[in-house]
Each structure stands twice: as C-alpha cells, then as structure tokens.
Copies of this chain bind each other. A is one copy, B any other.
Amino acid sequence: MATSFSSRSHRPSPEHIFQCLNAHQQTAALKAAIELDLFTTIDEGNHRVEEIAKRLRSSERGIRILSDYLTILGFLRKEDGRYSLSEDAALFLSKRSRHYMGTIAGFLTNQQHYENLVRLPEAVRRGGAANERGDNREPNDGLWVSFARSMAPLTVPTAIFIAQLVEAGESRPMRVLDIAAGHGMYGITIAQQNPRAHITAVDWPAVLEVAKENAIKADVADRYTARPGSAFEAELGDGYDLVLLTNIFHHFEKETCVQLMKRVYQALKSGGKAVTLEFVPNEDRVSPPTEAAFSLLMLVGTDAGDAYTFSEYNEMFKKAGFTETTFHPIPGMPEEVLISEKVG
C-alpha cells in the first residue's frame, strides 16, 4: 500500500479529510527515516526491529512504529516481522545504490518551505508569497546552494533524457549555455556524453561553486566555463547551439519569462535550440497531479510564478521569437521538456 495521488470511489466519509490533514506525518516520517539512514541499514541485512534498533542506536518501539508507517506508505515491505525495502526504496533511498537521492529531503522540507506553507492563507489573500523572498531575481544563496547540493541526484534520469533529445551522443561540436545552472547536472551530462561539447554556466557565484565541483567530479571541468551573475543581466555571449532553461521559468510572471526568452533567442545561433525543463500541467491545470500541484509551491514561494501550461509557454516563447515549440514528456518523471528552435 502506498499514499499517492490516485482515483478512489467511496461513500461519504471523513477519512480522506482526516488523511489529508494528517499528511504532514508522511513528510516527517520519510524525512526522519532518511535522516536516521533506516533504508541503508535494512539494505545492509538488518531486517528485524531488534537488529535495526541496535544498529541505529535507537529504541525498538521507535523503529517498529516508524518502520510500520513506512510499510503503509509503500517504502518497506513487512513479512513475518521482517522488513525489506520496496523497489523504490532500494533504488533511491539506500546509500548502497548509486541512484541514492535521500539528499532531496533536505531541500524539499527545509525551514523556508515550511514557513511559506504555514502562511498559505495570507498568500491566497495577497496572491503571492507572504514572505520577503518572492522575487527570485535576487541572489538567495542559502536556499539555492542547498538546492544545488541536495537535488542533483533527482536529475539523473531527466538529464539523460535531455542529452538524448538533443543528440549529445553524436559528438558534434556543441556550445551549450546553461542558464541558472544550479548543480549544473543537465549541462554536465551533455558534456559527459559529447566530448566536443562545451558548457557555459550562469548562476549566482555561490551556486556556481557547486556546479564547478560537479564538473570536476564528472571530469568535464576543462570544457566548463562559469559566468557568475543574474540570468537577466549577465553577459550571456552568443552563437550557442543549445540553451538550457531548467526549472527557471516557473519562478516568474509571464512578462519576465518573455524577457528572459528574448535574451535566449539572441544568444542562440540560427538553428539553435532552447531546451526548457518544467512542470507543465495539462490545460485543465489539475492533471497530471504532480505537475499541477506544483503551482501551490509557486503561490507560497514566489510573487507571481506558476506551473504554466503548454499553450502558455508556446505563447510566451512566440513573443520571444520562437515560432514553434515541441512537447516531450519524460517517462516516469513528473516534468516535461519543451524544445524551441531558432529559425532563421
């Protein structure tokens, strides 16, 4: 069993209300299990409450209750009192896996997100972030360095998908501009697949340090240039084959997105492509669930950001000069890629 966005039919009951009001327990439980490293401990062969508790220097009561709760959520299996990892947990939550992504808990559940969420009624009234940090055009090193450090593992399947989509494997010379690069993993993955690719990364100076570290780890640092500054003001250069815009537009109002995309158009060579990675809900704005739900984070965390639909992106990008944009869902991931070619 697992908690998920899924359809259900039932007679009227307060149970779903009860579950949603208690849903913050799911966040706390998964975060705690990651922090305690429960999944790795089970993966190392500790399957019973007593074994796990001893290894984690924790109480048996605490381990039993937390492990049962994680079984309800679908991250563990329980048979005859023995806990084992679900497929997702083994792949993504055990440090023995090279796909470990437990670090994302640090960013997704940080104090700023919590403080934004508790002020949701105020955000609904005024139509934007209730805190002082709604305009994401200024540096906010604490938040975005944390993002860059913790969210990189989540990018792997998406980064590979994008690299394939732009045919990085064909090893043509490729000049890539990575705007608001963060951890830099999207550009770095292209550089790994294409030894003739050169990446120029733009972001705030403190964030770019993380991208540079990742470029060194990936052994592409000799083809990696950092351009510290704002995506709206930095000198971007021109003649690029590709410009990457990964998870940046959702922070801003439409006019600001158009303004940024005009800069991108200028920076591309003729025939070059802008690659946008975003949470793109359907036109009904309530499906698919994860993409559509992303709007709520933008309401509490930004002055005017949103999870824009494809038709909204298409319209914004047309205003910036891109006559056609194509849509590419990412298998198994709740994000979509948009490709806009500079024609002529």
| A278-304 contact mask (Cβ, 8 Å, vs B): 1 or 0 | 000000111101101101111110001
A2 contact set on B, CB distance < 8 A: 5-8, 16
Bound: A25/B318 CA distance, A? 34
Rounded to whole Å, the gap between the CB of A341 and the closest CB of chain B is 30
Rounded to whole Å, the gap between the CB of A161 and the closest CB of chain B is 13
A56-85 residues at the B interface, CB under 8 angstroms: 56-66, 68-69, 71-75, 78
A125 contact set on B, CB distance < 8 A: 36, 56-59, 62
Sorting the interface of chain A by its residue count into under 10, 10 to 19, 20 to 34 or 35 or more gives 35 or more
Rounded to whole Å, the gap between the CB of A205 and the closest CB of chain B is 29
A333 contact set on B, CB distance < 8 A: 13-15
Does any Cβ of B come within 8 Å of A217's Cβ? no
Q: Is the CB of B299 within 8 A of A61?
A: yes
User: Among A26-34, A173-181, A232-240, which stretch is in contact with chain B?
Assistant: A26-34
Q: Is the CB of A15 within 8 A of B58?
A: no
User: Among A102-110, A182-190, A192-200, A264-272, which stretch is in contact with chain B?
Assistant: A102-110
Does any Cβ of B come within 8 Å of A24's Cβ? yes
A10 contact set on B, CB distance < 8 A: 332
Does any Cβ of B come within 8 Å of A12's Cβ? yes
Bound: A75/B13 CA distance, A? 12
Does any Cβ of B come within 8 Å of A92's Cβ? yes
Q: Is the CB of B31 within 8 A of A21?
A: yes
A118 contact set on B, CB distance < 8 A: 28
Does any Cβ of B come within 8 Å of A54's Cβ? no
Q: How many copies does the complex hold?
A: 2
Query: Which of B32, B69, B120, B284 interacts with A32 by CB under 8 Å?
Result: B120
Does any Cβ of B come within 8 Å of A91's Cβ? yes
> In this complex, what residue of B is CB-closest to A21?
B108
A31 contact set on B, CB distance < 8 A: 21, 120
A128 contact set on B, CB distance < 8 A: 59, 61-62
Query: Which of B7, B18, B78 interacts with A108 by CB under 8 Å?
Result: B18
Rounded to whole Å, the gap between the CB of A232 and the closest CB of chain B is 22
Does any Cβ of B come within 8 Å of A154's Cβ? yes
Q: Is the CB of A13 within 8 A of B332?
A: yes
Bound: A300/B59 CA distance, A? 13
> Interface centre among A18, A20, A21, A289, by most B CB within 10 Å?
A20
| A217-241 contact mask (Cβ, 8 Å, vs B): 1 or 0 | 0000000000000000000000000
A residues whose Cβ falls under 8 Å from a Cβ of B: 1-8, 10-32, 35-36, 56-66, 68-69, 71-75, 78, 87-88, 91-93, 101, 104-105, 108-109, 114, 117-118, 120-121, 123-128, 154, 284-287, 289-290, 292-293, 295-300, 304, 306, 332-334
A sample of 29 inter-chain contacts (CB < 8 A) reads A1-B289, A3-B6, A15-B332, A15-B334, A17-B75, A20-B29, A21-B104, A22-B27, A23-B23, A23-B26, A25-B297, A28-B300, A32-B124, A57-B125, A58-B124, A58-B125, A61-B127, A61-B128, A62-B128, A62-B299, A64-B285, A65-B124, A65-B296, A65-B298, A66-B296, A69-B293, A72-B286, A72-B289, A72-B293
Beyond contacts A3-B19, A28-B117: 12 other A-B pairs, Cβ-Cβ < 8 A, are: A1-B286, A8-B74, A12-B91, A20-B73, A21-B104, A22-B108, A24-B27, A25-B117, A25-B297, A62-B127, A68-B292, A69-B293
